[in-house]
Amino acid sequence: MPKYLCLQRGLPGGGKDGEKPSPAQMQAMYAKFNEWREKFQKHLTDIGGGLGASRLVTTQPAPDGPLVEVKELVGGYMVVTAANMDEAIEVARQCPGLVRPGSGVEVIEIHAP
């Protein structure tokens, strides 16, 4: 089955994350997330994570111009195995907290040899 790379990314104008969740809301998110994980167990090939420090490796001196770091664009990633794009989109859509005001998920097909 094809694999899909899911990138969480900010949307233009969406900037802020909104209010910080309260402990009670975190409890609810925790429960929802576990439900989601259970439901899509066989699709979640790599549950991924957030992105941290990075360094650019090149064969020549890095270009002078401004280079946007991937981290600035992408909040986190995961890899989903699904029969097709629609199914992969459904897995991402139902993930609690992933698709919210100000951020969306880009689902990208991975071409396997």
Residues at the site binding another protein, with contacts judged by CB under 8 A: 19-24, 26-27, 29-30, 33-34, 37, 47-50
Q: Under DSSP, is residue 38 helix (H, G, I), strand (E, B) or coil?
A: helix
Between CA 67 and CA 28 the distance in angstroms is 39
Helix (H) or strand (E) holding 91: helix 85-93
User: H helices within 40-84, ranges in order?
Assistant: 70-73
The nearer residue to another protein, 15 or 97, going by C-beta atoms, is 97
Tell the residue number behind the tokens 């689902």, with chain if given.
107
Q: Are 6 and 80 in contact (CB under 8 A)?
A: yes
The nearer residue to another protein, 22 or 60, going by C-beta atoms, is 22
Shortest distance (Å) from residue 76 CB to another protein: 9
Shortest distance (Å) from residue 36 CB to another protein: 9
The nearer residue to another protein, 2 or 36, going by C-beta atoms, is 36
Shortest distance (Å) from residue 37 CB to another protein: 7
